Structure 1
Amino acid sequence: MVYAQPFSKRQEEIKNSLDIRKQHHILNCLKTEVCVTSRKNKRHLLFFIPYTIYLCLLCCWIYHWNRSETWTKTGTSDNTRLSILLWHWPYGKAYPLNGNVCLDLFKIPGCEVLDRRSEFSKVDVVVFHQRELATKKEKLPLNLERPHRQRWVWLSLEAPENNGNLQPFANLFNLTMSYRRDADITVPYGELQPHGDENSMPLEAVEERISERSSSHSAGADPCGLQVTYMQELAADKERYEDFFRWRQEWRVKLYVDWRERLCKICTQSLPQRKVYSDLHKWYNV
């Protein structure tokens, strides 16, 4: 004989069964949500990692590009320091480079001049004096790995006939340093500088006087004879006589005799960002 279970007990069993099913359902839903969330996170992660790598590479490229391309008014800030390596001293005469030479001696900030060849891979600029290259006393460090951002400067204050054959130097130098005005870095033997800004003669007038005298010399005139003639003319013309002494009071002759000063002047120049001399021989002998 089968007895029916009490209604309350049957109801409790049904309730427990429903609770178990509900728990399984909730657990399955949680598992599904976790899986969906996990898949979404993976997709986000797969997108984020390459994007982050790309940004890092882009920042590195911009940083190195700026270092190699920033050449305008390089030495005008203490935060920007241009390092210059002189590969060999002109004519074998070395100068001391103790301390901050450019700032201490010539009031040029942000400029460092070195002559230690061990710093080759670290410097921004390397300067080579042509006379020692022409006489085979020195040679270019073509066996060393040249940094991409590094610029090579060809230096010569000699006349073209004293520089020898420059054709082997094609596509090696980025900048020229010479007394010529069309050089990237002009370093004359000397120049005229005003004593003050007030009542000074315009530079164009000074250049005109120099041009007149240069044309007389190039025509084969005797410099000593020209000077005697000029002084005699001054003595006979009171206005020109007074003008001569007024000109001497307003202008002074600045001579460049220290190679360190010439090298420090590199930091004061506005230099081209990208340049390579494909035919240095042709440029200097024009």
Structure 2
Amino acid sequence: MWLNDFNFDSYHRTQVTILMWYEPYGQPNNPSEDTSWVRNCTPRCKMVQQRSLFPTADLVVFHNFELIMRRQKLPVDLPRPPTQRWVWMSMESHVHNGDLRRFAGIFNMTMSYRRDADITTPYGERLAKEAEGDDPVEDVARNKSFLACWVVSNYKSYHRRSQVYKELSAIIPVKVYGRWARKPLSSKALLPTISRCYFYLAFENSESKEYITEKLWKNAYQSGAVPVVLGAPVKDYEAVAPPHSFIHVEEFASVKELAEYLQQVAGDHKRYSEYFHWKRKWKAKAQKDWRENVCNNICSQFDHLPPNKVYTDLAAWVQATGNGTI
């Protein structure tokens, strides 16, 4: 395949240009139109969406959703510069990435929330505070009106999270919002609404390695509700989340046991407050703007990116529970 002829041994740039071939989840671009926005991430690194810059771009990023939905095509008909690297980007769990076998031998690197991706772009991160603060948790239970709440739009009865919710709500009250419950929340109302709950069901739409989204980083942490999580394994949450800041469904032998635990903790101010002690040393940052997230992560990691990599089996890497075959 033509990618095998590429040689990155002497690859180095004093100025780096990242070309985003199209906007993630956006409307299909007209190839004849040249989008003009430019984001300067660092003095030596910028991200653009001007396709006319393809011949001089150091990296070209392709978002997987548009590829698998056939909304966009790879520019395989264009002469590809010998040192240009193509980046496959996806923020979805592996079960929602489609059939990737047709992309064998095309991409040089991966961009994903996964820590074993070439470029890691998490939905959020824990950051150490410069100095340990005073106890910030004395009023954590103030203005709490509901034991647990859940915001969900994509409800499927066969989803594990739906089954857990059904069992849980038969034992304890769970306030449900979102399109499925016909109680949609505006972006302005989202966090204030969740803040009135002791616990927030931060249930992901699939159980996948390291798939931990804004449900934890934004909905729970920024609202001030303790997240009850389901999705990635416990060890994945422990690796990235502040210590003792969440409750994982898998830590309980049954949903009934989980329900009893939530009731006990909510009824004990001291035990409930302990789930906020992490705020003394840590803060949780949720990623907001996709441009900032993509641009900053590529620019900060650029000098350490692998120079001679080609994914001969992208599908195997995406499906892998560890490092995939490359």
Scaled to the shorter chain, the TM-score interval is 0.5 to 0.7
Counterpart of 1:90, as a letter, is: P
> Which residue number in structure 2 is paired with residue 170 of structure 1?
104
| 1:268 and 2:268 aligned | no
CA distance in 2 between counterparts of 1:109 and 1:215 reads 46
> Which residue number in structure 2 is paired with residue 89 of structure 1?
23
Counterpart of 2:40, as a letter, is: V
SS at match of 2:277: helix
| 1:258 and 2:258 aligned | no
TM-superposed CA distance for 1:183, in Å, is 0.5
2:40 to 87, 97, 101: 101
Give the conservation status (yes or no) of the 8 Å contact 2:126–2:242.
Answer: no
CA distance in 1 between counterparts of 2:285 and 2:67 reads 29
> Normalised by the size of structure 1, how large is the TM-score?
0.60
After TM superposition, the structure 1 = structure 2 runs for residues 17-32 of structure 1, keeping only pairs within 5 Å, are none
CA distance in 1 between counterparts of 2:97 and 2:113 reads 14
SS at match of 2:55: coil
> Which residue number in structure 1 is paired with residue 278 of structure 2?
247
Give the conservation status (yes or no) of the 8 Å contact 1:97–1:113.
Answer: no
SS at match of 2:25: helix
TM-superposed CA distance for 1:161, in Å, is 2.0
- The 1:100–1:204 alpha-carbon spacing in structure 2 relative to 1, beyond 3 Å, is closer
- After superposition, the C-alpha distances for 1:225-246 in whole angstroms (9 at most, x for unaligned) are 4883474375254xx73x5443
TM-superposed CA distance for 1:83, in Å, is 0.5
CA distance in 2 between counterparts of 1:145 and 1:274 reads 19
CA distance in 1 between counterparts of 2:239 and 2:96 reads 31
| 1:153 and 2:68 aligned | no
Counterpart of 2:315, as a letter, is: H
**How many residues end up aligned between the 2 structures?**
200
SS at match of 2:47: strand
User: Could you say which structure has the higher strand fraction?
Assistant: 2
TM-superposed CA distance for 1:110, in Å, is 1.7
Where does structure 1 lack aligned partners over 5 or more consecutive residues?
A: 1-63, 75-79, 103-107
Where does structure 2 lack aligned partners over 5 or more consecutive residues?
A: 1-7, 30-34, 135-237, 321-326
- After superposition, the C-alpha distances for 1:47-67 in whole angstroms (9 at most, x for unaligned) are xxxxxxxxxxxxxxxxx853x
> Which residue number in structure 2 is paired with residue 5 of structure 1?
none
User: Could you say which structure has the higher helix fraction?
Assistant: 1
> Normalised by the size of structure 2, how large is the TM-score?
0.53
CA distance in 2 between counterparts of 1:212 and 1:234 reads 16
CA distance in 1 between counterparts of 2:243 and 2:282 reads 15
CA distance in 1 between counterparts of 2:259 and 2:26 reads 37
| 1:133 and 2:165 aligned | no
- After superposition, the C-alpha distances for 1:22-54 in whole angstroms (9 at most, x for unaligned) are xxxxxxxxxxxxxxxxxxxxxxxxxxxxxxxxx
CA distance in 1 between counterparts of 2:38 and 2:299 reads 17
CA distance in 2 between counterparts of 1:167 and 1:229 reads 48
TM-superposed CA distance for 1:166, in Å, is 0.4
> Which residue number in structure 2 is paired with residue 187 of structure 1?
121
> Which residue number in structure 1 is paired with residue 232 of structure 2?
none
CA distance in 2 between counterparts of 1:178 and 1:230 reads 38
TM-superposed CA distance for 1:145, in Å, is 0.8
Give the conservation status (yes or no) of the 8 Å contact 1:153–1:176.
Answer: yes
CA distance in 2 between counterparts of 1:65 and 1:205 reads 34
